[in-house]
Amino acid sequence: MKVPQLADLPIGPGARVLVRVDYNVPLDHGAVADDTRIAASVPTLTHLVRRGAVAVLLSHLGRPRGHSDPALSLAPVADRLGQLIDAPVAFVPHTVGPAAEQAVAAAPPGSVVVLENLRFHEGEMANDPAFAAALARLGQFYVSDAFGTAHRAHASTVGLPSRLPAAAGLLVERELSALDALRDHPARPYWAIIGGAKVADKLSLLEHLLDQVDGLAIGGGMANTFLAALGHSVGASRIEPDQFDAARHLVEAAGPRLLLPEDVVVAPAFAADASPRVAPVGGVGAAEFVLDVGPATLARWGQALASAALVFWNGPLGVFEWPAFAGGTLAAARMLASLPAQVVVGGGDSGAAVSQAGLSGQFAHVSTGGGAALAYVQGLELPGVAALAPKGQL
């Protein structure tokens, strides 16, 4: 999708630029535990401060539901950003109002100001016009560099860019370019690996991909529903009986293009410390839980994808948050990194797996927005991207 780019804005020294970033990062005892999203914003911020602008950063963190919560303050995020960028970074414990306006006005050219959590205000998620107007008073330009929130119609993603000259930041430009290649002109053969917990959450994605790809592999918890729908025992695993008909329809429509697990990692309890074992599909005990894909499955998938030119991967292949059952997801990351194909990772837990495996630099693109990436790949309009279009082109 064509949107105004950062270079299109006439930003000069001293200009105040509101930058919507996605700093919804994990914290551990008050410190940033994973700075991937913060680091991803640095190229855009560096571009602005080198032009002498004041970059005024807007982000949410967690779900405070319109109330201040010290545990969800962006102060530690600002501290981490200050370690990653060659520019002064100031944190302001306000989001809108006179105190925020005074702090922004006092910021020197070539500096960064991080405002407090947007979601401390109910007006953010409600896309309240008054809140958007209060944000707009803080700057002269708007830059969207938060692809992870582009599928949300909030005040900072939709209401604000309607009030100021707006453009996509460098991160959003990269995201759209990489995902356009999937959506509009994919290289062939084109494969997708889709994981995750529930078929219902990704049914529309699977149906869309089936019309686009040359091959589709399904793992994660939702593979249990597919296996059960085909008559295989998945023991005590969580399944979605109301999705059996949809699963069987997809299997029939895909034919040999659809790959499901042929072996799985099971455990006697749904627990992080349960003892795992590998079992063939059809060899799962009645009281066992399927918690990961098995090695034979990944070997088969690797062979099938060996000739792929393009691969899209989204979603974990097991209970990735438990180390004993993260092996399949991490092995998939390593397998994909070894392919000569162009591999695009659709964010979320699959992006976290790539980061955990230390492989981020070995993929064509790792998206910072799981939900936004899935929506865009399906051809859905992202409100936060559509809002950047010049008036009359919406």
Instruction: Tell me whether strands 16-21 and 31-32 are parallel, antiparallel or unpaired.
Output: unpaired
Task: Please confirm, yes or no, whether 196 is among the known catalytic residues.
Answer: no
Cα separation, 21 vs 353, in Å, equals 22
Task: Please tell me the distance from the alpha carbon of residue 48 to that of residue 237, in angstroms, as a whole number.
Answer: 51
Residues whose CB is less than 8 angstroms from the CB of residue 271 and which lie 6 or more positions away in sequence, other chains included:
none
Catalytic annotation on 294?
Answer: no
Provide the Cα torsion 355, 320, 147, 367; round to 10°: 50
DSSP reduced 3-state for 231: coil
Q: Which of 174, 198, 238, 257 is catalytic?
A: 198
**Active-site residue 318, yes or no?**
no
Q: Which entry of 110, 348, 369, 384 is annotated as an active-site residue? A: 348
Per-residue b or e along 80-103, where b marks 16 or more CB atoms closer than 10 Å to that residue's CB: bbbeebebebbbbbebbeeebbeb
Catalytic-labelled residue, pool 37, 51, 119, 202: 37
Catalytic hit among 62, 283, 302, 371: 371
Report H helices in the chain: 36-50, 75-84, 98-106, 122-125, 129-136, 170-183, 199-210, 221-229, 244-254, 295-304, 327-338, 348-356, 370-377, 383-386
Does residue 197 contact residue 239 with C-beta atoms inside 8 Å? no
Q: Among residues 263, 339, 368, 265, which one has the least CA distance to residue 34?
A: 368
How far apart CA 222 and CA 236 sit, in angstroms, is 14
198 is catalytic: yes
Query: Which residues are identified as catalytic?
Result: 37, 198, 348, 371
